[in-house]
Amino acid sequence: MKHVLKIMALLVAISAFWIGLLETSVVPRSYTWLLAIYLIVSLGCYGLLMVGIGLMLFPTCPQEAVLLQKDIAEAKEFLKNKGVDVGSD
């Protein structure tokens, strides 16, 4: 939820800046579409950056891996008792 609030705050700030530039006539009206395109591209780049950082910092959980292996062994044993061929170990 924090990222949504960051993005919304960024959108509001950029929109206010954009409207301010247009109202003070610093940027000609013909460049209005370019600013919108730059905004969309910037948000896309920000999103890709956040996904990349999230993947690089993805936590490993060795304790959870051990628990998962135990659950798999229990499930195989349960299925073997029911007569299902679960393959070799």
- What whole-number distance in Å separates Cα of residue 86 and Cα of residue 66? 20
* pLDDT at 44 > cutoff 70: yes
Q: What is the pLDDT of residue 69?
A: 93
DSSP character at residue 29: G
DSSP character at residue 61: -
In angstroms, the Cα distances linking 39 to 31, 35, 84 are 13, 6, 56
In angstroms, the Cα distances linking 75 to 10, 63, 64, 69 are 48, 19, 16, 10
Confidence of residue 73 (pLDDT cuts 50, 70, 90): very high
